[in-house]
């Protein structure tokens, strides 16, 4: 089942998340729904707060559904290590059609539980490192726009404000 994706300005994106404690059939169904929602958008990552749930849960798939082997499910994730720096354009399903250059670590090590509760560690670089950081930000109530400064931030938020005033956001 596809879920509506919350947009920037919705308080659900800013709420604190709680740990996933039960890894049962209902969690598996939720994960499947999140994957379907992410692929339909289409996107490479989706966090539970983006569909209005206050859970520490996200899914990432750089292949956008082309390869099941690339799918990562993370519950209760945290960073073990972050190294380097990359500056790349970034977008978000909760801020559709808007992109901005965001500074992120170029390499990360993330630890989290899979859909069955098994702890796993992932090494990511480049786009995967960016996706991990982007989704874990969502679990902490942050959106990529929060990482912007100065003129870049003002311009993006100004365009969204104008769209909202016209009833198109």
**Active site amino acids:** 135
Burial of 152 per CB tally in 10 Å (0-12, 13-18, 19+) = middle
Secondary structure percentages of the chain, helix, strand, coil, to 5: 35, 30, 35
Distance CA 85, CA 103 (A): 7
- Check residue 166 and report its DSSP letter: T
């Amino acid at each position: 089942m596809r879920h509506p994706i919350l947009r920037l300005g919705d308080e659900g994106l800013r709420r604190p998340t709680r740990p996933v404690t039960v890894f049962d059939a209902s969690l598996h169904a939720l994960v499947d729904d999140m994957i379907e929602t992410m692929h339909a958008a289409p996107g490479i990552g989706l966090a539970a707060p983006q569909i209005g749930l206050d859970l520490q849960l996200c899914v990432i798939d750089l292949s956008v559904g082309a390869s099941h082997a690339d799918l990562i499910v993370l519950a209760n994730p945290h960073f073990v290590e972050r190294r380097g720096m990359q500056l790349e354009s970034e977008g978000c399903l909760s801020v559709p059609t808007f992109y901005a250059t965001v500074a992120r670590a170029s390499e990360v090590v993330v630890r989290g539980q899979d859909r069955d509760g098994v702890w796993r560690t992932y090494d990511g670089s480049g786009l995967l490192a960016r996706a991990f950081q982007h989704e874990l930000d969502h679990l902490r109530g942050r959106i990529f726009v929060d990482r912007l400064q100065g003129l870049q931030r003002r311009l993006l938020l100004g365009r969204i404000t104008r769209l909202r005033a016209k009833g198109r956001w």
